[in-house]
Amino acid sequence: MADFAAARRMMVDGQVRTADVTDPRLIAAMLELPRERFFPGEKAALAYLDTDVTVSEPGLPVRRLLKPMVLSKLIQAAEIGENHRVLDVGCATGYSTALLSRLAGFVIGLEEDEILAKQASEALSACGISNATIVAGKLARGYPADAPYDAILLQGSTEIVPTSLLDQLKDGGRLACVLGQGPGKATIYRMIGGEVSGRPVFDAAASALPGFVQPASFVF
């Protein structure tokens, strides 16, 4: 039987701390949260690998969980406060939503793959998490019903500036995403006085999320 507790410690020590992730609340949350519970049973052994892991069903659009290093650095850069309302876009099986729930006041995990959304809801319930919920809907639309948000995170890359999501930020709110592919740049957008500014924070690679791909341009 796999020693998941030992694997979790190795993940934090070898992948997270070494990537300049120093937020003690985030490190504690990653040490405590059983990441393997957010993987389909046959893939639980892959939970602590230093790579993005595919969690979608065969034949459906490929969806992957961000590798722990990229996820932890994105969350740290988003500056999540204990009273913040957070939107987690493309939450897949819910690990990122569960992790954010340890840091924020309330988290909404948005997922358009119905199978993944069901798995995420079940995993949150199994972990006894009460300050997070999973909602179904198109990722690119966000979830305006509960906006505005203190922070929004994208669990994958975007090839376009996600303006529809930026409109759902509070004044002072942040959006964290990987902009571009192969590799892209982890980028933090901030809403100040109705104006948005963005800054790159580190190099990162991630799979593109549905609805965030640059439309093909017509060539004469």
Residue 64, pLDDT > 60, answer yes
Q: What is the CATH number of domain 4-204?
A: 3.40.50.150
pLDDT level of residue 9 (50, 70, 90 thresholds)? very high
What does the pLDDT average to over 20-27?
97
Q: Which residue has the higher pLDDT, 181 or 111?
A: 111
Residue 40, pLDDT > 90, answer no
Q: Sort strands 106-111 and 149-158 into parallel, antiparallel or unpaired.
A: unpaired
pLDDT at 214: 79
The residue written with tokens 């850069």 in the block is: 77
Residue 219, pLDDT > 60, answer no
pLDDT level of residue 61 (50, 70, 90 thresholds)? confident
pLDDT digits (tens, 9 = 90+) for 155-208: 999 999 999 999 999 999 999 999 997 789 999 999 999 999 999 999 999 999
SS3 for 18-51 is HHCCCCHHHHHHHHHCCHHHHCCHHHHHHCCCCC
pLDDT level of residue 216 (50, 70, 90 thresholds)? low
Residue 218, pLDDT > 60, answer no
pLDDT level of residue 28 (50, 70, 90 thresholds)? very high
Specify whether the CB–CB gap between 150 and 84 falls below 8 A: yes
DSSP-assigned letters across all residues of 145-200: GG--EEEEEEEEEESS--HHHHTTEEEEEEEEEEESSSSEEEEEEEEETTEEEEEE
> What percent of the chain clears pLDDT 70, i.e. is strictly above it?
97
Which token pair is 175?
A: 């959006």
Residue 183 to residue 45: CA distance in whole angstroms: 26
Calculate the average pLDDT of the chain: 94
